[in-house]
Amino acid sequence: MSTQRGATATYKCANCGDPFTARTADRKRGWARFCSKSCKAIRQEKRTGQHAAHKMREAGECFPSHADGDVQ
Ligand SMILES: [Zn+2]
C-alpha cells in the first residue's frame, strides 16, 4: 500500500556485486551500498587506504636515525 515509506528495491553490492534488498530512502542518502557490513568495511579500507598508509608511516617513523638520539 504505502509505497513511499519503506519502499525497497534490489541493488548490487558495491563491493562484491551481490544483489541485496535495501530501502530506497536509505539509498537516496548514500547509504545501503553494500550487501553486508563486512563488504562495507572492506570497501572503505580499500578506498581510504588508511590502513596501508598507517602501516607505511609506522615503518618510516621507526627507521629515522634521530630516534636513536631519544633512546638512551
Ligand atoms: Zn557485498
Ordered by start, the domain boundaries in the chain are 8-65
- Give me the pLDDT at residue 70, please: 58
C-alpha cell at 39: 563488504
Give me ligand 1 centre to Cα 31, in Å: 13
* Residue type for position 5: R
Give me ligand 1 centre to Cα 37, in Å: 8
Low-confidence ranges of the chain (pLDDT < 70): 1-4, 50-72
Give me ligand 1 centre to Cα 42, in Å: 9
| Dist CA 7 CA 25 (whole Å) | 7
Rounded to whole angstroms, what are the CA distances from 60 to 38, 40, 70, 72?
Answer: 30, 29, 16, 21
| Dist CA 65 CA 67 (whole Å) | 5
- Give me the pLDDT at residue 31, please: 92
| Dist CA 68 CA 72 (whole Å) | 8
- Give me the pLDDT at residue 48, please: 77
Give me ligand 1 centre to Cα 38, in Å: 8
Give me ligand 1 centre to Cα 43, in Å: 9
